[in-house]
């Protein structure tokens, strides 16, 4: 199973991003991400055996209990790579909860599945972004787009991606509400109870 942890976007945010995608739609070389696939990847796991699924779902729930909801913002657009011929056009996301959540998932996967489980995502530093389009053939860069969009991030998901000829098919395998300090207190009291027995 090809898996990743991700944050999906509310409809009003998607609408703004779809409007921006019209800037590349006129160029055949760019292929826009379909609206229901717009997301922010927290951690890409690549191909994982089915027996890892239970641990990955449990990790998602644990991280949800430990991390509070937060406000995310989209400010502008950029390219990967920034220099030379771009492969990806993306929207830059900001929010104080992105990095702690992504790092928590990364550390949790390392603990339960080992370092090799992280190889699929590479060692690039985490940069919160939403892919808007991928370059499939020669196509020009489009001018930057500036957004003023924000939304509350209240949950994240574990997603399976199946690669099909017409594009990937995403299936959400689990959703994890962000409960923050309330969840942390519950976890600590549960740990204390288990130590007392």
Residues carrying an active site annotation: 39, 129
Does residue 65 contact residue 184 with C-beta atoms inside 8 Å? yes
Q: 133, exposed or middle or buried, with CB in 10 Å at 0-12, 13-18, 19+?
A: buried
| Residues 33-59: b if buried by 16+ CB within 10 A, e if exposed | beeebbbbbbbebeebeeebbebbeeb
Cβ–Cβ < 8 Å for 40, 156: no
């Amino acid at each position: 199973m090809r898996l990743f942890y991700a944050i999906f976007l509310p409809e009003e945010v998607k609408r703004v991003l779809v409007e921006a995608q019209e800037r590349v739609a006129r160029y055949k070389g760019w292929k826009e991400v379909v609206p229901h696939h717009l997301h922010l990847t927290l951690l890409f796991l690549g191909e994982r055996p089915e027996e890892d699924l239970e641990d990955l779902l449990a990790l998602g729930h644990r991280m949800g209990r430990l991390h509070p909801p937060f406000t995310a913002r989209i400010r502008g657009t950029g390219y990967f790579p920034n220099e030379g011929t771009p492969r990806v056009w993306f929207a830059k996301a900001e929010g104080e909860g992105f990095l702690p959540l992504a790092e928590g998932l990364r550390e949790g996967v390392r603990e339960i599945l080992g370092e090799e489980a992280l190889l699929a995502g590479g060692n690039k530093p985490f940069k919160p972004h939403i892919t808007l389009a991928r370059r499939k053939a020669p196509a020009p860069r489009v001018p930057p787009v500036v957004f003023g969009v924000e939304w509350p991030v209240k949950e994240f998901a574990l997603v399976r991606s199946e690669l099909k000829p017409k594009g990937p098919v995403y299936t959400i395998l689990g959703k994890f509400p962000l409960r923050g300090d309330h969840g942390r207190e519950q976890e600590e009291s549960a740990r204390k109870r288990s130590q007392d027995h």
